[in-house]
Amino acid sequence: MYQLLKQIVSVGIKTEAPPQTDEALRVVSQRLKQEILGMFAGSLAIRHVDAGSCNGCELEIHMLNNPYYNIEGLGIKFVASPRHADLLLVTGPVSRNMEEALKRTYDAVPEPKLVVAVGDCGCSGGIFGESYASCGRIANVIAVDVAVPGCPPTPTALMQGILTAISAAGRNHA
Amino acid sequence: MAFESLSPQLTELPGAVPAWRADASAAELPDICQVVKDQGGRLAALWGTDEQDRGEGYALNLVLAKPEGILWLKSALPVDRLQYPDLSPIFYPAQRMQRAARDLLGIDAEAADRRPWLRHAAWQETDRPLRREAAGATVYDQGGNDYAFVSVIGDGVHEIPVGPVHAGTIEPGHFRFSIVGEKVLRLEEHLGYTHKGVDKRFQGMALAEGAKLAGRVSGDSTVAYAWAFSMAAESIAGVTPPERALWLRALMLERERVANHLGDLGYLGNDGGLAFGLAQFMRLKEDVLRLNEKLFGHRYLMDRIVPGGVACDLARGGIEAIVAECGALEREVRLLKDIYDDHPGLQDRFLTCGRLTPNTASKLGVIGLAGRASSQAWDARAQAAPAPYDVLGVRMKTHKNGDVAARVIMRFDEIFESLRLIRAVTERIAPGEIALPLASAPAGRMGLGWIEGWRGESMVALDLDANGSIRSCHAHDPSWQNWPALAFAVNGNIVPDFPLINKSFNLSYSGCDL
Ligand code: SF4
């Protein structure tokens, strides 16, 4: 126990400042009202769905919770069920074998909901493209708000994408 | 020579690992497999190819492994006779691979289990998406997806279906638990959800593009796959990469191993109830990734190994930075190991949990890290020892307990061994070229790549057409062999221990769904 406490104290706090939002990542204009976004900020529940990725994107999603990025410190946490989620973080090209499961997961998220597509594969189908086995990008299967390119995108890019999804800028006031 | 006692005519494949090629008729396969098994060998991979472009029908491909090397057997199947003998009574892992080959190509082992494996609803039983006449872009009419799980019947038995979307941030797959109370009687796995048509995708690609795709078969093993692919291409071209490139490859492969083991140790601590472990190990992993980015320009080293060598040299000051990192990691991991070892709560979760006995592991043909934790002494770095591992001399460790604790110990041991290897590389690496061009290879040549990644061996079998682009390519992940073992390891344990046991294996979905 002494060793454990000593290690915690000697390592100290490693968390770095979060990135700014980036409007270039937005796919459709913000659909949610300021008041709702205000509630998401500081308490956002994310459900991750791997719709057919190579698992590279998952590695970086895991890193969001390490002490450097500490995404929970921003009030953003990963939850075990889509029914508890505000935002779906989806990786992959969507494999045809996951198409149905992705749609069902999307339907299980209560409104109002947001979707962030992750990685070159999530944005465009990537190196796997569209084929007998792959539906390509996430937007081919469910509505996407923000898409974060990269192979895989860095944790900073992922945070930026998530923060952009819950920011009011880019909202269509029409 | 490893396979000289076999009847078929063997051709030696040039390259980094001892490898041979032979043709055999389908009828001969059971005898050949039995002989290899009796000599201590095993099945490394099994898949099908369409040879119609050469007017030869189809083929069943097998790679058999012995510690001294590997043998690629090709067995022609004429269009009017697509059946071959079921090899799973000899090699257990053949089961799912045979089912996958049937789903994609229609070649059939006539095994008792007629259920599909990779085919869910995306195509129908009569469709053969991997055949050459099938365009890659074809979208088939949806088939049904009612998979016939084996049901366990008895007083108080019930089922828990889990997935394909799991509760944590992991890949998709379906697990069907049959339980009594909290005890698992049977676990049945249904995978294939991330099938992306990789074998089809490879066809027609140039080598450079193929290396990228190979590096995305399983993203956590990108270095291993890119190396295996490059090794196969270099075997065909008859090129040996420059010495510096080989040292850099070993450096990258060991860094990949260290990064993955650090992450796993963090999650294993967390699943065992010690969140402190996750925070500490993930911090160390992040440090390794950041140094990767700084020195090689990519956190996971994707696309850094290319056919002919490596794509980038070590940035200035790289060696010093790596040596300093080794020292820091060694110190920190030893300290954390002491904390894990002395933590009664954690050890209580680890010890005897998810036990895979050496006997079962051997029957199932388990390999890689999970195999070594159950006395299965296979490590392609130590045995086939492709350069520069022939000089480095990997000290393979095994453990006989086969429980979660053993798989944790293996990870600690392998981190320390990797740090030793990394230091050895930094002492020996000398300035020089980092890549050679691959001369256009003679048409109709085939090459194998075989390297021990952090999870186990990654294998790539490559066949080029007359223009030097890919005629067919198949990547094999060790998870094929190890998934069935997870189901055995879970039996008799309680459901809440499944996440911990699963994590201790940490198998790839994408790598074998392909
Ligand atoms: S974007 Fe890259 S890392 Fe992510 S799933 Fe696609 S290939 Fe893998």
B225 touches chain A (CB under 8 A): no
What's the first-to-final CA gap in chain B, in angstroms? Answer: 33
Say whether residue B389 is in contact with chain A using an 8 A CB cutoff.
no
Chain B residue at shortest CA distance from A15: B283
The closest of B230, B219, B290 to B434, measured between CA atoms, is: B230
Say what the pLDDT of residue B283 is.
Answer: 96
**Chain A contact present for B496, CB below 8 A:** no
- What residues of chain B lie within 8 A of the CB of A158, using their CB? none
Burial class (CB in 10 A: 0-12, 13-18, 19+), B182: exposed
Distance CA B117, CA B107 (A): 14
Minimal CA separation from B486 to chain A, in Å = 19
* ipTM reported for the complex, 2 dp: 0.93
Residue A173: which pLDDT band, with cuts at 50, 70 and 90? Answer: very low
**Among A7, A57, A97, beta carbon nearest to B192:** A97
| Ligand 1 atom nearest A57 alpha carbon | 4
3-class SS shares of chain A: helix, strand, coil, % to 5: 40, 15, 45
Q: Where are the domains of chain A?
A: 26-170
Q: Which residues of B392-409 are buried (b: 16+ CB within 10 A; e: fewer)?
A: bebeebbbebbbbbbbbb
Beta-ladder partners of B472: B463
Q: Which fold has domain A26-170?
A: Rossmann fold (3.40.50)
Residue A41: per-residue pLDDT: 73
- By the 8 A CB rule, do A78 and A65 touch? yes
The answer to whether the CB atoms of B197 and A48 lie below 8 A apart is no
In chain B, % of residues over pLDDT 90: 83
Distances in Å between the Cα of B327 and the Cα atoms of B189, B346, B416, B422, B454 are 41, 27, 11, 11, 21
- DSSP string computed for A24-60: GGBSS-B-S-HHHHHHHTT-EEEEEEESS--SHHHHH
Q: B444: helix, coil or strand?
A: coil
How many Å lie between the centroid of ligand 1 and the Cα of residue B217? 10
- Chain A residue at shortest CA distance from B117: A97
**Which member of B167, B200, B336 has the closest CB to residue A80?**
B167
Please report the pLDDT score of residue A38 as a whole number.
76
**Nearest Cα residue in chain B from A96:** B122
The pLDDT-based confidence of A133 (bands split at 50, 70, 90) is: very high
Atom from ligand 1 closest to the CA of residue A60: 3
Give bridge partners of residue B65 from the DSSP assignment.
B42, B70
Answer yes or no: do A3 and B335 touch at CB < 8 A: yes
**Nearest CB partner across the interface for B335, out of A7, A59, A105:** A7
Closest ligand 1 atom to A126 CA? 6
Q: Please classify residue B77 by burial: count the beta carbons closer than 10 Å to its beta carbon, then call 0-12 exposed, 13-18 middle and 19+ buried.
A: buried
* Residue A35 scores a pLDDT above 80: no
| Secondary structure letter of residue B2 according to DSSP | T
Q: Give SS3 for B48.
A: strand
Which residue in chain B is spatially nearest to A80 when comparing CA positions?
Answer: B167
Extended beta strands in B376-487, E state: 446-452, 457-464, 470-476
Contact between B138 and A132 using a beta-carbon 8 Å cutoff: yes
- Separation of first and last alpha carbons in chain A: 59
- Where helices occur in A64-152 by DSSP H, the ranges are 99-108, 119-124
- Are A145 and A173 a contacting pair, CB within 8 Å? no
Residues of chain B where predicted confidence (pLDDT) is lower than 50: none
Q: What is the pLDDT of residue A169?
A: 65
Residue A61 with chain B: CB contacts under 8 Å = 169
How many angstroms separate the alpha carbon of residue B202 from the centre of ligand 1?
16
Q: Do A128 and B169 touch (CB under 8 A)?
A: no
Residue B47 phi/psi, 5-degree rounding, is -160, 170
- Segment (H or E) for B306: strand B305-306
Instruction: Tell how far the Cα of A73 is from the centroid of ligand 1, in angstroms.
Output: 27
Ligand 1 binding residues, C-beta < 6 A: A 53-54, 56-57, 91-92, 119-121, 126-127, 151-152; B 216, 219
All residues of chain B having their beta carbon less than 8 Å from the beta carbon of residue A8 are 276
Average pLDDT, chain B: 94
The confidence score (pLDDT) of residue B230 equals: 97
B499 close to B264: Cβ distance less than 8 angstroms: no
Q: How far is A82 from chain B (nearest CA, A)?
A: 9
Check residue A171 and give its pLDDT: 61
Q: Which residues of B touch A95 (CB under 8 A)?
A: 122, 193-196, 513
- Kindly list the residues from chain A whose CB atom is less than 8 angstroms away from the CB atom of residue B200: 131-133
**Residue A54 to residue B216, Cβ atoms within 8 A:** yes
Other Cβ atoms closer than 10 A to B445: 17
**Shortest CA gap A12–chain B (Å):** 11
| Of residues B380, B375, B379, the one with CA closest to residue B362 | B375
- From the number of C-beta atoms within 10 Å of its C-beta (0-12, 13-18, 19+), residue B2 rates as buried
pLDDT tens, residue by residue, A44-95: 999 999 999 999 999 999 999 999 999 988 889 999 999 999 999 999 999 9
Could A152 and B300 be called an inter-chain contact, meaning their C-beta atoms sit closer than 8 Å? yes
Structure confidence at residue B303 (pLDDT): 97
Q: Whose CA is nearest to atom 6 of ligand 1?
A: A121
List of domains in chain B: 11-105 (3.30.460.80), 198-512 (1.10.645.10)
| Residues in A touching B458 (Cβ below 8 Å) | none
